[in-house]
Amino acid sequence: MRTEDPRPIRLKDYTPPAFAIDEAMLDIELDPARTRVHSTLKMRRNPASKETAGPLVLDGEKLKLLEVRIDGELLGPNRYSVDGEHLTIHEVPEGKFTLETVTTCAPEENTALTGLYLSDGIYCTQCEAEGFRRIAYYLDRPDAMTVFRTRITGDRKKTPVLLSNGNPVKSGKTKDGRHFVEWHDPFPKPAYLFALVAGDLAHVEDKFVTMSGREVTLRIFVEKGNEDRCAYAMEALKRAMKWDEERFGREYDLDIFMIVAVSAFNMGAMENKGLNVFNDKYILARPDTATDADYAAIEAIIAHEYFHNWTGNRITCRDWFQLCLKEGLTVFRDQEFTSDMRSRPVKRISDVRLLRAHQFPEDGGPLAHPVRPESYIEINNFYTATVYEKGAELCRMIHTMAGPKRFRKGMDLYFERHDGEAATVENFLDALADGAKLDLTQFKRWYRQSGTPEVLASGRYDAARKTYTLKMSQVCQATPGQPHKEPYHIPVAVGLVGPDGKDMALTLDGEDKPGAKTRVLNLTEREATWRFRNVEAKPVPSLLRGFTAPVKLSANLKERDLVFLMRHDSDSFNRWEAAQRYATGLLVAMVEAEKTGVPARKGGAFAEMVNDLLTAKKIDPDFVAQIILLPSEQTLAQIIGQEVDVDAIHAARERLRASIATQTKDALLAAYTRMEVTGPYRPDADHAGRRALRNVCLGYLSAAPGDEGIALAAGQFRTADNMTDSIAALSVLSNIDCPERREALDAFHERWKGDHLAMDKWFSIQAMSSLPGTLDEVKRLTGHPAFTMKNPNKVRALITNFAAANQLHFHAKDGAGYRFIADKVLELDKLNPQVGARMLGAFKSWRQTEPKRRKLMQKELKRIAGTEGLSRDVYEIATKTLA
Ligand code: TRP
Ligand code: ZN
């Protein structure tokens, strides 16, 4: 155990900072071992603070303090004290004063990748959430906003490019082959949005003319040699800039917008003002190196970070409890952007998939927390699916309730009221309520209560009266610290599908004429009933269309109703949903059969649907690819929910895949041929959709008995002219024990061993293989020259992927998977606690596994929690998971 347990930070303890910073000047002399930072802060007591006396306490970690001055006077050691986390100056002048500190830090030793570090010889910073304190002593909190001036000095050869936020104002040579650039950011910002990048970088340049006619220079900086992989990112950036003007009226505000791609990065990307820093896998793309999924992620993340300029930067967060204020809202905005650029239904399906795969288990497990948490030990642990994805769902619900026009009015008011401020969730909700004319009083509970509400729906048709009565009720299970829940305000979009497969116009009791075919009903009580009139024939209800609320719906529909909806529902999301539910029902029964030996049914309707969809004249390939795909092993484990047996799940799913493939083989083969894309590669939704469907067909064909699938996959691997088809074929082969597998893996390695992003794909495919011996293979690959524990992408590709995406082997009966991951978590705890804590997340479902595995998982969790000197990151996850 730790000698002193770290104490939680609480929302209710919030007070404004005791001091204000009117201006910050940083003079940074770069050096790998000893970077010198001279910080000059113009300060005074904060008029908004109740504290009118007392010391000045600044945050700082891993800094060596050389000098402290106030108004130019050097302070002796009796005037201040320093510990591992703070610099405390016992007394400061009454009015305005200037505080100077000189400190050093060591970028080359920084493996945590927070603060100032080196990524392949490039200096870069990551300051969100609390990294700035590793660069200089500061009020490192988001409500301390100021204007920054930054002067960077570095070696002319090693760091010809010196970047920071805002506009460059001065540059020149200094002595000993060094030079400097001075930057000025006119927009007051918190320290977490500060950034510095320096290195021998190449760049591509373009420009954008804003809606008011201002010309903005756009630059993407990359390692030399990667200039030919930036075109797509640049186009995506311009699309995002245009979209934010059109959809939200938001214009870019500086003369230059820069993006830098680095290979060592803890997350996806970071929205630093005017200088976004990206994990290079979300910038670099060329048809032969990036898959369609990579292209889509690049477009979405570029947009996400760009959109933060308004939702995050211009309006920032008062404190870290308000994280969803910027993240949930910005995810909602990027989801809408992608929906407008690509297929809206397919985007909705993939977002709901993600929500269910990551957020629902979080909400139903030991790490459950509200979208706005009320306490944390380490804020880095709260960049979660709940804050991001559920946070986005909450914005989407407001959008659904208000409709697009009123939602826009609410957003306009939010920007008008709070531009330049550090705001709260209440500020946001008040602006939306006022601007969109909504009552959000009860809705606010969504931000406070954790857990996924369950909605139970049942309908009754009265043929004599021609009425349809829909009853809905809600419950929400207890979550850690929240035994009782108040009812939520849940918007449920509803349609009634007639026997002809067409939507009925809906007339509610008390209305005299029929309304829309999809109506949004507001479930606000624990139970409520709606009655529809003039319902001419018995309908099948289509509930929660478009997934209008992040809830678990049980409608207890009969199998034949699901089959009907998966064929006829006009709401694409619900068509997909019906197919998933049908397949899930089948698979759960098969898993049961796997255990009991009683055979389950064949699931003919699903195969029939696959067959019909594939042979239909007009199809939307991307959507078909989604709807014919079976729920994942993880999804099945979640739905089964207790005493989970991963072997039975794997076996059942493989059997159903084989059975569907056998029943639909001709259609699969025909579609495989028909979907082939000819001509030059294009990453757009149209071509990507065809490739997606073709590769889903390939997957099924490989599950059919016989070697035909192997031959197809091997052939596709050999002839593919793009990474999407190459990786799809390799993934298929990686799960089959055949000579073609090794040949393909070796060929891929031979071709791409010099390309770090392609190598990540090679590692991750092997980590996810279902073949026996995968864990040993993963262990062996940790010794591969391209692998290093110091690069998060490598760690995630090979190890986190194994833990999170290879259910079969992570949960190996003998506990070897658990042991291996626990060892790696402990190793990372010393190098990069953020990445370590995330990997540990794989243990959160330990209570749902069968008793033997449960014990083994608990043992590893205890071993970790009992380790001396743990980081706050890993400590918090380990102890909360066990609690
Ligand atoms: N604000 C970033 C985003 O969502 C997230 C982020 C990037 C981050 N790097 C981080 C969060 C490091 C915590 C730590 O766009
Ligand atoms: Zn974000």
CATH number at residue 797: 1.25.50.10
Residue 597 pLDDT: 80
Ligand nearest to the CA of 381: 1
Same domain flag for 378 and 486: no
Q: What is the number of helices (H) and of strands (E) in the chain?
A: 29, 32
- Is 305 a known active-site residue? yes
Q: Does residue 642 belong to any structural domain of this protein? A: no
State the residue for tokens 């908004």. 48
Residue 777's CB: how many other CB atoms inside 10 A? 16
Show the ligand 1 pocket: residues with CB < 6 angstroms. 126, 128-129, 266-267, 269-271, 304-305, 327, 380, 383
Structure tokens at 852: 């033997």
CB distance 301 to 286 below 8 Å: no
- Return the residue whose CA atom lies nearest to atom 5 of ligand 1: 270
Task: Report how far ligand 1's centroid is from the alpha carbon of 192 (Å).
Answer: 10
Strands (E), 190-268: 196-199, 201-209, 215-223, 256-262
Ligand 2 centre and the CA of 584: distance in Å?
Answer: 33
Q: Tell me the ligand closest to 276's alpha carbon.
A: 1
Query: Is there a single domain that holds both residue 129 and residue 150?
Result: yes
Query: Is 640 a member of any domain?
Result: no
Count of CB atoms within 10 A of residue 78's CB? 7
User: Hey, which of 267, 279, 324, 388 would you mutate to test ligand 1's pocket, going by the most ligand atoms within 8 Å of its Cβ?
Assistant: 267
Say how far apart CA 88 and CA 126 lie, in whole Å.
Answer: 24
Q: How far is the CA of 333 from the centre of ligand 2 (A)?
A: 10
- 443 & 460 share domain: no
Characterize 706-730 residue by residue with b for buried, 16 or more Cβ atoms within 10 angstroms of its Cβ, and e for exposed. Answer: eeebbebbbebbeebebbbbbbbbb
Which atom of ligand 1 is nearest to 380's Cα?
Answer: 13
Distance 777 CA to ligand 1 centre (A): 32
For the chain, the domain total comes to 4
Same domain, residue pair 251 and 363:
no
pLDDT at 602: 65
User: Residue 308 CA: which ligand 1 atom is closest?
Assistant: 15
Backbone angles phi, psi at 540, to 5 degrees: -105, 125
SS3 label, residue 238: helix
First to last CA, the chain: 15
Interval between CA 664 and ligand 1 midpoint (Å)? 45
Q: What is the DSSP letter of 62?
A: S
One domain, residues 60 and 204:
yes
Of 774, 768, 726, 737, residue with least CA distance to 632: 768
651 phi and psi angles, rounded to 5 deg: -60, -45
Q: How far is CA 808 from each of CA 661, 701, 729, 782, rounded to the nearest angstrom? A: 22, 22, 21, 20
Question: Does the model's pTM come out above 0.95?
Answer: yes
**In the beta sheet, which residues pair with residue 198?**
123, 162
Q: List, in sequence order, the alpha helices (H) in 419-531.
A: 425-436, 445-448
Distances in Å between the Cα of 290 and the Cα atoms of 287, 749, 760 are 6, 15, 11
Is there a domain that residue 441 lies in? Answer: yes
Q: What is the DSSP code string of 323-352? A: HHHHHHHHHHHHHHHHHHHS-HHHHHHHHH
Report yes or no on 722 lying in a domain.
no
**Which residue, judged by its Cα, is nearest atom 3 of ligand 1?**
270
| Cα-to-centroid distance, 247 and ligand 2 (Å) | 19
Looking at the structure, tell me whether residues 486 and 428 fall in a common domain.
Answer: no
Nearest-CA residue for atom 11 of ligand 1: 128
Query: What percent of the residues of the chain are helix, what percent strand, and what percent coil, each to the nearest 5?
Result: 45, 20, 35
User: Given the DSSP bridges, would you call strands 552-554 and 454-462 parallel, antiparallel or unpaired?
Assistant: parallel
In a domain, 92, yes or no: yes
DSSP notation for 587-606: HHHHHHHHHH-------HHH
Residues 473 and 376 in one domain: no
Check whether residue 38 and residue 142 sit in a common domain.
Answer: yes
Catalytic site residue from 61, 128, 305, 860: 305
> Final residue of a domain: which of 251, 269, 287?
269
Distance 270 CA to ligand 1 centre (A): 5
Ligand approaching nearest to the C-alpha of 270:
1
Longest dimension (CA), the chain: 94
Give the residue among 579, 542, 574, 584 at the shortest CA–CA distance from 563: 579
Q: Domain range holding 241?
A: 21-42+54-269
Q: How far apart are CA 799 and CA 500, in angstroms?
A: 51
Looking from the CA of residue 305, the nearest atom of ligand 1 is: 15
Alpha-carbon span 676 to 504, nearest angstrom: 39
Last residue of a domain, one of 410, 433, 448: 448
Residue length of the chain? 883
Ligand 2 centroid to Cα of residue 20, in Å, is: 26
Ligand lying nearest the CA atom of residue 792: 1
Looking at 448, 469, 487, which one is the last position of a domain?
448
Tell me the Cα Rg of the chain.
Answer: 28
748 neighbors 755 (Cβ within 8 angstroms): no
Do 113 and 200 share a structural domain?
yes
Closest CA to ligand 1's atom 1: 270
Strand bridging mode 527-533 / 507-508: antiparallel
* Statement to judge: residues 190 and 244 lie in one domain: yes
Amino acid letter for position 710: I
436 lies in the same domain as 467: no
Residue of minimum CA distance from atom 15 in ligand 1 = 270
Q: Which of 266, 276, 302, 834 to mutate to test the pocket of ligand 1 (most atoms within 8 A of CB)?
A: 266
- Best residue among 309, 376, 383 to mutate for probing ligand 1's pocket (most ligand atoms within 8 Å of CB) is 383
Cβ-contact 586, 599 below 8 angstroms: no
In a domain, 162, yes or no: yes
What CATH number does the domain containing 262 carry?
2.60.40.1730
Q: Would residue 834 count as lying in a domain?
A: yes
The amino acid at residue 124 is C
- Give the domain CATH number at 335: 1.10.390.10
Report how far apart, in Å, the C-alpha atoms of 99 and of each of 19, 35, 43, 856 are.
Answer: 12, 20, 7, 54
Residue 675 lies in a domain: no
Q: Do 386 and 487 have their domain in common?
A: no
φ, ψ at 269 (rounded to 5°): -170, 175
Q: What is the mean pLDDT of each run of 10 residues along the chain (883 residues)?
A: 77 98 98 99 97 97 98 98 98 97 98 98 98 99 98 98 98 97 98 99 98 98 98 98 99 98 98 99 98 98 99 99 99 99 98 98 98 98 98 99 98 99 99 98 98 98 98 98 98 98 97 95 98 97 98 95 96 98 95 82 84 94 97 96 94 95 97 96 96 98 95 98 98 98 98 98 98 98 98 98 98 98 98 98 96 98 97 98 97
Give the pLDDT confidence score for residue 596 in this predicted structure: 83
Q: In which order are the strands placed within the sheet that holds 519-523?
A: 519-523, 490-497, 540-543
Which ligand lies nearest to the CA atom of residue 330 in the structure?
A: 2
